[in-house]
Amino acid sequence: MHLRKVIAAVLIPFAAAVLVGLAVLWPGGAPPHERTGVGFDRQTQQATVTKVVAVSCKEAGAQGVPPTGDTSTAEGSSAVQQENGTCKRATIRVDSGKDKGRTFTEIIQPDQSRQLHEGQEVVVAYEPSAPRDLQYSVTDINRRMPMALLAGIFALAVVVVGRLRGLMALVALAISFLVLNFFILPAILQGSNPLLVAVVGASAIMLIALYLCHGLSARTSVAVLGTLVSLLLIGVLGSLFIDWAALTGNTDDNTGLIHGLYPTIDMSGLLLAGVIIGSLGVLDDVTVTQTSAVWELHDANPSMGWRGLYRAGIRIGRDHIASVVNTLVLAYAGAALPLLLLFSIAQSGVGTVANSEIVAEEIVRTLIGSIGLVASVPVTTVLAALVVSADRPEPAAEASAVPARGGRGRRRKR
């Protein structure tokens, strides 16, 4: 019971600090800004392809109809092929916005990866300052329906298998998105310190998700405390090595656009915030699993002391570490696969590739998250073993009590 009081004495002030942090840093919405018309900052509308006909690329070029998408090539040598080939002229109808019902045409080159067909729903960019014939252009495919269907299948599978806990997990997931969209992102855009915002937001998500899914219990509190210790370690290591490796966090077009729109945002701090938030989901998985394993071991053998519980739990944790660390590395490698292919084409050495900032950023992110993950296993396991065995009577007392009763019985028989 003493250990449970200690954990409560740590977690209650921590939860209060998180509430205070939410109140102090709450942004009240993202700051307004004028759209630049670049990248994701463009105005977009929904549209539908109503007609697609084959035309000569040379004829289409003579008519001055703009092509859709990026028609450039690596060597710029396919212009003659496109001119003599067969293109497609697509007629697109705008389905939303003030120009709803308006149509425009675009030429689709034969070597473009994205080919349009009749009835296809698309996303179009709108640039009001451009000439009327060039105000709209197709930027992407409308994927809302397949994504919504996939999300529905996912939710159904979670509820069918997880039942009430699965439903609570979905509620916790929705709350996590709300915290991300209404607190973390707007607060960073308002100029708050990204690291502080990430710590407060991630802590709020952790408390809500774990207690909502697993209940208000000592078991859940141990998982929360193990996650908290690991997040603190990740924050310290991330702050140290991101600064030491001189990682700016500004490595691609998207981060460059963010820095251009909001130059006051600390991009290296934003990188560290991403490391913390990204590590939280895996940490929750590990700490909850370890805590549950120790509790189940205790239920199976109540006479096992905390040292035995720790040794058994850590054996389970080692298997978990081996699989999850490999998952982290492969997840980051999969996300960066196109970039790694470019380095392979350029025949760059491993040292050159690892030293480039865009790859070094992912390496540092992976290693820091993995260190925190590894540390969470022994920390959570020892806490769980100590707490679950705290209420158990001492084994010596139990052993002495049994022979005494048996001894008295034998004496009475004699």
Q: What is the pLDDT of residues 105-148, one digit of tens each?
A: 888 887 777 788 888 888 888 888 778 878 888 888 888 899 99
Half-sphere exposure (Cβ direction) of 350: Cα atoms closer than 13 Å: 1
Distance CA 387, CA 238 (A): 30
Q: Which carries the bigger pLDDT value, residue 356 or residue 339? A: 356
For the chain, what is the mean pLDDT?
A: 79
| pTM > 0.75 | no
Judged against a pLDDT cut of 80, whether residue 267 lies above it is answered with: yes
- Identify the band that residue 402 occupies on the pLDDT scale cut at 50, 70 and 90: very low
Cβ neighbour number for residue 152 with a 10 Å cutoff = 10
Q: Domain segments of the chain: what residues?
A: 2-27+161-394, 43-141
pLDDT of 160 over the 70 cut: yes
Phi, psi (rounded to 5 degrees) for 75 = -110, -10
Predicted local distance difference test score (pLDDT) of residue 71: 42
Residue with the two structure tokens 């022994």 = 378
- Checking if the pLDDT of 375 tops 60, the result is yes
Looking at residue 185, what is its pLDDT?
86
> What gap in Å lies between CA 183 and CA 198, rounded to an integer?
10
* Residue 404: other Cβ atoms inside 10 A: 10
The pLDDT value given to residue 1: 52
127: left (phi over 0), alpha (psi -120 to 50) or beta: beta
pLDDT, tens digit (0-9, with 9 covering 90-100), for 57-98? 776 665 555 555 444 444 443 443 445 577 888 888 998 888
d(CA 325, CA 317): 12
Environment class of 66 (CB within 10 Å of its CB; exposed 0-12, middle 13-18, buried 19+): middle
Q: Is the pLDDT of residue 352 over 60?
A: yes
pLDDT over 60 (residue 379): yes
What residue type is assigned to position 400 of the chain? S
Answer whether residue 269 shows pLDDT above 90: no
Cα–Cα distance between 303 and 308 in angstroms, integer? 10
pLDDT at residue 157 in the model: 94
Neighbour-count burial for 231-264, b at 16+ CB within 10 Å, e otherwise: bebbbebbbebbeeeebebbbeeebebbbeeeee
